[in-house]
Structure 1
């Protein structure tokens, strides 16, 4: 390994002029794509063109956009930091993405595509009425804003670490550019910019991994170093739900979480429904899967390489960076800093992940507000250029809201962004996912059951997640790190080092300087039994909310009077169990339809009538 690296010497390299130029090109091109589509489609006033591209999009850009939407900066920065601190069990998420892709393509997408509506929440209107639809639409907007706040804050924090530029200034600039091109070009701009940004993400990750391997002595050497320090773990099959990362929690729990993202999240469903046929939409979903595998695998490998690179001198421990989420950009300067321009390209790849997720979220929230509120409550006759203008205005307003949320997040003391963002996102995703499953899979679920199930699961998951964040029960600690390889360690103010260490007792004592002692004062109080509940792995949060919702929804439905499966519109149902067992004899398999008559469907021209009928009935009640 090259010994002349900044972490050993205690000197940070800096961005050069070429780095800033190449970094800026990403934003210039993204804005140009938005301006181009705005000019090209300037005579089109159809709002479905703005949100769905009139269902004439091509599978290739849609598949790339599907992959880019939730492969944000949290993926590029959070996953390597996760591997660095806790080891490689997170790599099992690749199996989870396979579960999510299959479920989205063959369980949920056929239902949404047949409805031919801009907002997938219209399904809830037809199945459960206005109240459930409104509650979930509000939850979606809150959830998306929180997630977008993270994906704006995390890369901006990283950029501050490598350039010294203002955190707020960076967030303002990135948010403004993303809002501008999304507002100008709509879904077409989002798809094409996502495609460009995914390619940049791949190139940036691959460049850093290859160069990092070269600096650490190759893959075998890096793997051995990480293994020696306990970072390589792939066979934890513990069934205990308190195990932070096991094969089951990551592959199944993570798979169900990603099933929500790909199956019923407006941002993804909107892209899938922009294709001309259901077959092409399913093809786009499966084409996106290899991209998910490659990007996630590279991010995990980067975590291994990053640990091998800093194995003798932890940058966070010695104060070279403040938070684990700044390790990747620091490594960029250390590894790529001698190649002018490459740090700029990698930081462009980090922001590409954020731009793709933010633009998707802005366009999706605009569609939800327009379709689920304005056109159903106050502006039912809204159409043409007025509807298009309001949709673009919504993008602008949510752009401002996104920046405000990012500012709030920036005031919190950070843990690894991957876990915190996942945990907060799961508060709403689990209950919402459960509501869709209770509606699509189980024909007996009625309005009352869906509503009570949604509220109950939301309360339970909120108690779990917020309780864990507030009380922080003792549990799994980060793996130990070393500082004995830092040649500049003696120059650090000793009292400051002791202070920093006392804030983080998760490291073993042998990682501290020899003359540092931590004194425990007082007795250790026994923790409340509820803390075992709070120790549930964050990977199970979404699954927990989903299961609670389904159980409560079905119980209340049977108590208050279940729906007759033969009278449920089969266009709103998905025969999951029938599809899961194709090897069974048809005489047995037909019972897996759960009594639904799949010849009882509504034609496309009757969909809007049923939605309007449900709205009228709810208003009369």
Structure 2
């Protein structure tokens, strides 16, 4: 009977189905939990929001003020309409509208400006002008040009379809929705908006309001900066430049509020627009006068009449001789590059292309060191600085001695004896490959940004003087520099620097001599400078927030000089190209008097400018647009009747720029080749490496052209350039000092210290830039000015009491974060390098300091061992102060230096097997004859 019963068959469920059910149940459980939480949240109701009494009073006051203003407008005559050609306006709401009058709220809604920082196009007529006047306290508006309208629609244009925002990127989409109005593509839409055609209203309604934005910090801190961005109202034609500046910075939408910067647009005031209108009328009058002169004097040609008024700047045109001199500079620079490309070794090896075959003498090296960072930045910036604030800037020369003595006796011996090609090879020998890559990347960023400033400065000068296209000048200079750098290598760069240094000296001397003669002699120049409070005494105020004092320039300048002449690859590469270590040190010493001469020439030119113009500067008259253009206006004014000399000075400017940019190209190609490419391709042939190095120089030339526009976004050219080197050069200086002077610093401490230094540098730098853009007062003219009459006692007393007198007239001292942002830009290098050293030492001690046996011989300078001479040897060994450069004789006997491997910290140092036999022999001899350092106490006590 049991056998007759049917057997039960268990249906097996596949495993994948069980897993699917389990995951589905988990999802359903999560959804149920979220629904329950949402239900509980809704059941609780909306939370109560309390509003302070002051807010009600503020809203009531704003409403009453709007109603009063509207009533007064009704009794006034209607506003006059702009010219017929101005049919289109662009309005942006820049203020909050909480508590405003209902009429004002209605007009804002009609203009579709419901959100703050939103903009829309408006057709100009009597009604719209009256409505704009009604909402003027909350809206900024002006007349856009065709280019700004095009940029807005192409990069910011959106419409709404099925409750979704859709960007305007397809002509078919436009034809589908507004084709019935005759608009079938984006160009038709742009034309209809700009020309205010008959279908303007439906086409404008088709566009959504343009969403503009400010910086993220401004959107976050609504209680502070957002309410004080600027004054609203009529901006005339300033709206076009503001819109173009914003759309150039961003290529598309900017929902996160980072790319699009509305601050420059909001900071211009209604007074500025009125001033533009007055200046425009003056320009029309001057043009009529100019035409009448041409009609009365038919013998004169347009080229002979100077100056010619164009736009808002008085442009002075070149003669044929000026253009010839300028062309000679470019042809000579390119000719030097071609000469070294087809002479000697013809740049067939990387040693010859990147290191000049280590065969340069001290004189060309020293002049190249001088020209590398004495560019058009210094030629334009120093005279305008002295003209505006006095000769306090001259005290920067006090920092030159120690700023060049320390590299000559500390950095050069270490780098030269290691036989490096790149300064960042030292970081791998001292720490590891990670630190080397971090240092290389930081240097590349530093030099690319700085090249933009240097390339922009002389092009701006040429544009201000002759009206020559700004970016045409940038392209011509960048391409010529790229040509001779990529063809001639380091030899061409150094000898071109020598030629360009001579041109710089001759150009500045010519301006000073002719300007002094026209001013009545050097005595008259000095008398006017003293009477105008431009001769500064000794300002011993130790406050680091003061822009320029003796301590700021004399002490802070030392760290800036160390960042430039101690560890910067462009300068280290020139040291290493010398024939011997002694010649490298001598070349560093020769730079000192040359630097003093260049500084004195810049200060003297500023005094001659003041003797000619006094307090009534060309900037005040409106002949120039910035301080950096005053030098060029002064040169063209002085050389008005001397054809050829204006071209000589502009050649001087371009010489400074070319010397700096060519050095940057060559140094960037070197670090990229030696630090980023060769370690990964150790078997690369010499021919391929040389060809790749030339390609890198060419590539960096193109990058420099792309980065030149960044200079126009910064303030004064001089301070912008020095601030960049302080922000980025300071942490690099701290990284090298950490490895050179502190034996127990390890790779982790070096990386963390460098990161901390860069974060601190950019925090302070960007914060100070934003605070400066918010409208702080200019620095005082001259708190330590010498009196016009007096003896030496009066002069000394003026210097001694300068700190006391400055506290009486000074503005309130910043506190908190503002004090940090107000730090003088000359202290950036010192502050940031100290941050790297302190953080690096703390992290190294916490993660385990390096032992003496782990250090590569020759990578640490024995400064601690010398300073702690009073300690017994056993304590020095515990402190790791007996470094490889100061080994005891019994430990250093016949010890070889293996540069191919480094077991202590995992770094590797690669040498190209195809180097010349002479270079290999020199390296072997230098390492086999390694002697303990003979540095004296005087040399190491720095």
- Same fold flag (TM > 0.5): yes
Select which of 840, 849, 861 maps to 1:574.
861
What residue in structure 1 maps to residue 827 of structure 2? 540
- Does residue 1:364 correspond to 2:667, yes or no? yes
What residue in structure 1 maps to residue 902 of structure 2? 610
Distance 1:271 1:586, change over 3 A: farther
- Does residue 1:157 correspond to 2:432, yes or no? no
Q: Is the 8 A contact 1:23 1:345 kept in 2?
A: yes
Show CA shifts across 1:364-386 (max 9, x none).
Answer: 00000001111113x22223110
What residue in structure 2 maps to residue 252 of structure 1? 555
Report the alpha carbon displacement of residue 58 of structure 1 after superposing the two structures with TM: 1.2
Higher helix content, 1 or 2: 1
SS in 2 for 1:571: coil
What residue in structure 1 maps to residue 598 of structure 2? 295
What residue in structure 1 maps to residue 643 of structure 2? 340
Q: Is the 8 A contact 1:146 1:425 kept in 2?
A: no
Distance (whole Å) between structure 2 residues aligned to residue 77 and residue 604 of structure 1: 52
What residue in structure 1 maps to residue 723 of structure 2? 423
Distance 1:215 1:154, change over 3 A: same
Distance (whole Å) between structure 2 residues aligned to residue 245 and residue 526 of structure 1: 16
Select which of 652, 662, 686 maps to 1:384.
686
Give the 5 Å matches for 1:436-515.
Answer: 436-472=736-772, 477-478=778-779
Distance (whole Å) between structure 2 residues aligned to residue 223 and residue 428 of structure 1: 38
Give the 5 Å matches for 1:257-336.
Answer: 257-336=560-639
Distance (whole Å) between structure 1 residues aligned to residue 579 and residue 573 of structure 2: 13
Aligned-residue CA RMSD (Å): 2.8
- Does residue 1:403 correspond to 2:705, yes or no? yes
SS in 2 for 1:614: coil
SS in 1 for 2:598: helix
What residue in structure 1 maps to residue 441 of structure 2? 138
Distance (whole Å) between structure 2 residues aligned to residue 40 and residue 292 of structure 1: 32
Distance (whole Å) between structure 2 residues aligned to residue 41 and residue 530 of structure 1: 58
Distance (whole Å) between structure 1 residues aligned to residue 865 and residue 396 of structure 2: 27
Select which of 232, 235, 243 maps to 2:546.
243
Show CA shifts across 1:438-484 (max 9, x none).
Answer: 10011111111111111111111111110000122765615579xxx
SS in 2 for 1:572: coil
Indicate the larger mover: 222-231 or 602-611: 602-611
SS in 2 for 1:606: coil
What residue in structure 1 maps to residue 476 of structure 2? 173
Distance 1:444 1:230, change over 3 A: same
Distance (whole Å) between structure 2 residues aligned to residue 317 and residue 391 of structure 1: 49
Distance (whole Å) between structure 2 residues aligned to residue 547 and residue 132 of structure 1: 18
Report the alpha carbon displacement of residue 607 of structure 1 after superposing the two structures with TM: 2.2
Q: Is the 8 A contact 2:862 2:882 kept in 1?
A: no
Distance (whole Å) between structure 1 residues aligned to residue 647 and residue 383 of structure 2: 19
- Does residue 1:188 correspond to 2:491, yes or no? yes
Distance (whole Å) between structure 2 residues aligned to residue 479 and residue 116 of structure 1: 49
Select which of 374, 382, 390 maps to 1:79.
382
Q: Is the 8 A contact 2:379 2:653 kept in 1?
A: yes
Distance (whole Å) between structure 2 residues aligned to residue 476 and residue 553 of structure 1: 37
SS in 1 for 2:654: helix
- Does residue 1:54 correspond to 2:354, yes or no? no
Structure showing greater Rg: 2
Report the alpha carbon displacement of residue 217 of structure 1 after superposing the two structures with TM: 2.1
Report the alpha carbon displacement of residue 186 of structure 1 after superposing the two structures with TM: 0.3
Distance 1:576 1:79, change over 3 A: farther
Distance 1:74 1:29, change over 3 A: same
Distance 1:366 1:127, change over 3 A: same
Distance (whole Å) between structure 1 residues aligned to residue 390 and residue 759 of structure 2: 32
Distance (whole Å) between structure 2 residues aligned to residue 93 and residue 187 of structure 1: 30
What residue in structure 2 maps to residue 595 of structure 1? 882
Distance (whole Å) between structure 2 residues aligned to residue 341 and residue 369 of structure 1: 41
Distance (whole Å) between structure 2 residues aligned to residue 573 and residue 281 of structure 1: 20
Show CA shifts across 1:496-539 (max 9, x none).
Answer: xxxxxxxxxxxxxxxxxxxxxxxxxxxx9998731111111000
Gaps of 5+ in 2: 1-305, 783-810, 910-942
- Does residue 1:15 correspond to 2:318, yes or no? yes
Distance 1:154 1:25, change over 3 A: same
Distance (whole Å) between structure 2 residues aligned to residue 194 and residue 133 of structure 1: 29
Distance 1:27 1:578, change over 3 A: farther
Distance 1:603 1:198, change over 3 A: farther
Distance 1:476 1:124, change over 3 A: farther
Distance (whole Å) between structure 2 residues aligned to residue 11 and residue 562 of structure 1: 63
Distance (whole Å) between structure 2 residues aligned to residue 477 and residue 270 of structure 1: 39
What residue in structure 1 maps to residue 844 of structure 2? 557
Taking structure 2 as the reference length, the TM-score comes to 0.57
Distance (whole Å) between structure 1 residues aligned to residue 904 and residue 883 of structure 2: 24
Distance 1:604 1:256, change over 3 A: farther
Gaps of 5+ in 1: 482-523
Q: How many residues align?
A: 564
Report the alpha carbon displacement of residue 13 of structure 1 after superposing the two structures with TM: 3.4
Distance (whole Å) between structure 2 residues aligned to residue 422 and residue 605 of structure 1: 39
Q: Is the 8 A contact 2:743 2:860 kept in 1?
A: yes
Report the alpha carbon displacement of residue 312 of structure 1 after superposing the two structures with TM: 4.3
Q: Is the 8 A contact 1:183 1:396 kept in 2?
A: yes
SS in 2 for 1:607: coil
- Does residue 1:225 correspond to 2:534, yes or no? no
Distance 1:595 1:467, change over 3 A: same
Higher relative contact order by CA 8 Å / sep ≥ 6: 1 or 2? 1
Q: Is the 8 A contact 1:6 1:334 kept in 2?
A: no
Q: Is the 8 A contact 2:852 2:883 kept in 1?
A: yes
Any runs of at least 4 consecutive aligned residues in structure 1 with deviations exceeding 6 A, and if so which?
Answer: 5-8, 524-528, 578-581, 584-588, 590-593, 600-605
Q: Is the 8 A contact 2:432 2:905 kept in 1?
A: no
Distance (whole Å) between structure 2 residues aligned to residue 587 and residue 214 of structure 1: 67
Q: Is the 8 A contact 2:383 2:606 kept in 1?
A: yes
Q: Is the 8 A contact 2:383 2:602 kept in 1?
A: yes
Select which of 348, 366, 376 maps to 1:63.
366
Indicate the larger mover: 42-51 or 248-257: 42-51
Q: Is the 8 A contact 1:82 1:416 kept in 2?
A: no
Distance (whole Å) between structure 2 residues aligned to residue 44 and residue 74 of structure 1: 31
Show CA shifts across 1:129-175 (max 9, x none).
Answer: 12111111111011101111111101110111111100000000000
Show CA shifts across 1:106-134 (max 9, x none).
Answer: 11111110111211100001112121111
